[in-house]
Amino acid sequence: MLEATLNKQLRDFPLDAKILVHPGEILALMGENGAGKSTILNMLSGLLAPDHGRVRLRDRELFNSAAGISLPVETRNIGYVLQRSAVFPHLSVSENVAYGMKARHWEKHRIAEEAARWMDRLDIRTLATVKAGNLSGGQKQRIALARALATRPDLLMLDEPFTALDVESTAAGKDLIRSFITEKKIPCIIVTHRRSDCRQIADRVCSIRRGSIGWNGKPDDLPETSKGIP
Amino acid sequence: MNRPSFRPDPGRRTLATIGAAVLVASVTLYLALPIVALFFRTTPDLFLSSLMDAEVKSALFLSLSTSLISLAIVILVGTPFAYVHSRTTYPGKIVVDTLIDLPLVLPPAVAGFALLVLYGRVGLLGRYLNLFGITLAFTTIAVIMAQIFVASPFYLRQAKSLFEQLDPAYEQTARTLGASPFRIFATITIPLTAGGLLSGAVMTFGRALGEFGATIMFAGNLPGVTQTMPLAVYGAMQGNFTIGITISILLVIISFAIMIAVRFFAKTGVGHA
């Protein structure tokens, strides 16, 4: 389970958010540009420090301002696909997928097996030896997803993961994320603009407005227009 | 009724073409003629035979070895420095930025004189080093110190700018994947900026190889010890003119090779997600 209380004074408004995501649950964060969605993910991952707050993941204290705890990003075991999926352009597709496993010093044969398995699942095995910088936006997003999932994270966070994907790949990506989350029983947060994404993949939706969580409910109850969201 | 024509007058167009051609030719000739003149003052046989001259070989060896050592020091110290400098803010950063750029505009003779004032036998630091039997001025080490002082900005500026331009998303992603700062630096930061860094390194090597003013002030012009190729050319003005021509041609060839290398490496851009 992920439990987080995050406070940070941003340039224009204070960010104040309480996040609770259960194992196997997918939470979608919706909101306008600059509302604070990506900032929340950055704070959970440790890339950005909250002013105050607490982050607990699977009974592990990742951040606690009162106790002076702040685990480094590299030890938090969070799979995070950033908005610009940032595949490493100088590495091949298989080297990209294997990057996190190598960084964690997994055994060589296990890295090769896992990388092959994830490339198969994301349908990028045929591109294994191609330099990632030469690929399309959609292919890069699939690589970024495979790379994040391959490290067996305790929390998966995806920032606008479907923007560069076509309809078919988006559907396949959603199926894959859903099956992974259900199989591994880990919490997942997806930042998205699209209502269709929320309805198709999320178990719960939170709308963020100027740093605060407004509407919080089931995707089926999501109002048709943003006017309906307080 | 005839519609007005917007075509330029053919006469004017010809005049503009001729003007542009004259301008391009003048600039090209101004830059190329002195170089070409060097080649007219020797013959292939004379050039090859004077290459074997002890003075030429000694200056060539000293120039190449000191420039390579200077380059290695600049890369080893300058790369982590430029990285830390580009990723952190600290009081007085703007002063450090200015100091990095200063040798680019400072007359090299002044740089050499300043080094002498600091590290010379009776210099501010040199007098204390001398107590321990350490002498820097007028040694081969002084040649390297002068080259580093004058040439390092070419690498430092380039490295600093490359690290600043690199999209932070790459390093952030690598961190979330569990990579240590050193692994990120070695596997992401350096490979993604390698082309530009190499280009900066080649420019630094070229500047170190051509260093004259600071070297003659701080290291002197001692054959076999501090007499690098540019200093040997200077020495040849009063002695063997043929040797001066040979070393100059060598430096021209090396400079051309450096510019080709810089253009080649500069094609490699910095990574953006």
Q: Structurally, how many domains does chain B consist of? A: 1
Q: Which residue among B169, B178, B271 sits closest to A103, beta carbon to beta carbon?
A: B178
Q: How far apart are CA A207 and CA A191, in angstroms?
A: 10
Residues A99, B174: C-beta atoms closer than 8 Å: yes
The b-or-e profile of B23-49 (16+ CB within 10 A means b, else e) is eeeeeeeeeeeeeeeeeeebeeeebee
Cα–Cα nearest to A225, from A195, A198, A204? A195
For B186, name the nearest residue in chain A, comparing CA atoms only.
Answer: A103
Q: Name the average pLDDT for chain B.
A: 91
Q: Which residues of B touch A156 (CB under 8 A)?
A: none
Phi and psi of A216, rounded to 5°?
A: -145, 115
Residue B124: which domain range? 45-266
CATH number at residue B189: 1.10.3720.10
Residues A86, B175: C-beta atoms closer than 8 Å: no
Domain ranges of chain A: 1-77+154-223, 88-152
Q: How far apart are CA A45 and CA B169, in angstroms?
A: 13
Sign of the alpha-carbon dihedral angle for A125, A128, A133, A134: negative
For B164-171, which contacts have Cβ atoms below 8 Å and span 24 or more sequence positions? B164/B86, B165/B270, B166/B192, B166/B193, B166/B270, B166/B271, B167/A84, B167/A86, B167/B271, B167/B272, B167/B273, B169/A82, B169/A84, B169/A86, B169/B273, B170/A86, B170/A88, B170/B271, B170/B273
In the structure encoding, which two tokens stand for residue B176, read together?
A: 């979330």
> Chain B neighbours among A 27-56 (CB < 8 Å)?
45-47
Q: Which pLDDT does position B93 carry in this prediction?
A: 93
Q: Which residues of B touch A145 (CB under 8 A)?
A: none
Mean pLDDT along residues B170-189: 94
Per residue in A67-84, pLDDT (tens digit) is 999 999 999 999 999 877
Max distance between CA atoms of chain A, in angstroms, equals 53
Enter the DSSP assignment of B4.
Answer: P
Q: How far is the alpha carbon of A84 from chain B, nearest alpha carbon, in Å?
A: 6
Interface of B with A (CB under 8 A): 167, 169-170, 172-180, 183, 187-188, 191-192, 271, 273
> Chain B neighbours among A 99-138 (CB < 8 Å)?
99-100, 103-104, 133
Q: Which residue among A47, A88, A103 sits closest to B183, beta carbon to beta carbon?
A: A103
Mean pLDDT along residues A174-198: 87
- Using the Cβ of A189 and the Cβ atoms of chain B, whether some distance falls under 8 Å is answered with no
Q: How far apart are CA B179 and CA B177, in angstroms?
A: 6
Q: How far apart are CA B215 and CA B138, in angstroms?
A: 9
Please report, rounded to a whole number, the percentage of residues in chain B having pLDDT higher than 70.
Answer: 95
Q: Residue A200 pLDDT > 70, yes or no?
A: yes
Residues A86, B167: C-beta atoms closer than 8 Å: yes
Q: Which pLDDT does position B138 carry in this prediction?
A: 95
Q: At residue A49, what is the residue type?
A: A
For B175, name the nearest residue in chain A, comparing CA atoms only.
Answer: A74
Residues B176, A88: C-beta atoms closer than 8 Å: no
Q: How far apart are CA A35 and CA A13, in angstroms?
A: 9
Predicted confidence band at B175 (pLDDT cuts at 50, 70, 90)?
very high
Per residue in B109-133, pLDDT (tens digit) is 999 999 999 999 989 999 999 999 9
Q: Residue A191 pLDDT > 70, yes or no?
A: yes
Residues 6+ apart with CB under 8 A from B155: B74, B75, B78, B82, B197, B200, B201, B203, B204
Q: How far apart are CA B149 and CA B109, in angstroms?
A: 12
Predicted confidence band at B269 (pLDDT cuts at 50, 70, 90)?
low
Q: Residue B4 pLDDT > 80, yes or no?
A: no
For A135, name the nearest residue in chain B, comparing CA atoms only.
Answer: B273
Q: How far is the alpha carbon of B262 from chain A, nearest alpha carbon, in Å?
A: 20
Residue B111 maps to a domain = yes
Rg (CA), chain A: 17
Sign of the alpha-carbon dihedral angle for B65, B264, B157, A85: negative
Predicted confidence band at A165 (pLDDT cuts at 50, 70, 90)?
confident
Q: Which residues of A touch B179 (CB under 8 A)?
A: 74, 99-100, 103
Q: Residue B171 pLDDT > 90, yes or no?
A: yes
Q: How far apart are CA B29 and CA B202, in angstroms?
A: 26
What interface predicted TM-score (ipTM) does this complex get? Answer: 0.89
Predicted confidence band at A230 (pLDDT cuts at 50, 70, 90)?
very low
Residue B220 maps to a domain = yes
For A141, name the nearest residue in chain B, comparing CA atoms only.
Answer: B273
Q: Which pLDDT does position B94 carry in this prediction?
A: 93
Q: Which residue among B167, B174, B176 sits closest to A45, beta carbon to beta carbon?
A: B176
Residue B18 maps to a domain = no
Per residue in B223-261, pLDDT (tens digit) is 999 999 999 999 888 888 888 999 999 999 998 898 888
Predicted confidence band at B6 (pLDDT cuts at 50, 70, 90)?
low
CA atoms within 13 A on the CB side of A78: 32
Q: Which residues of A touch B178 (CB under 8 A)?
A: 74-75, 77, 100, 103-104, 151
Q: Which pLDDT does position B203 carry in this prediction?
A: 93
CATH architecture for segment(s) A1-77+154-223: 3-Layer(aba) Sandwich (3.40)
Q: How far apart are CA A205 and CA A221, in angstroms?
A: 9
Q: Are A16 and A22 in contact (CB under 8 A)?
A: no
Q: Which pLDDT does position A218 carry in this prediction?
A: 86
In the structure encoding, which two tokens stand for residue A1, read together?
A: 């389970």
Q: Name the average pLDDT for chain A.
A: 88
Q: Which residues of A touch B173 (CB under 8 A)?
A: 80, 82, 86, 88, 144
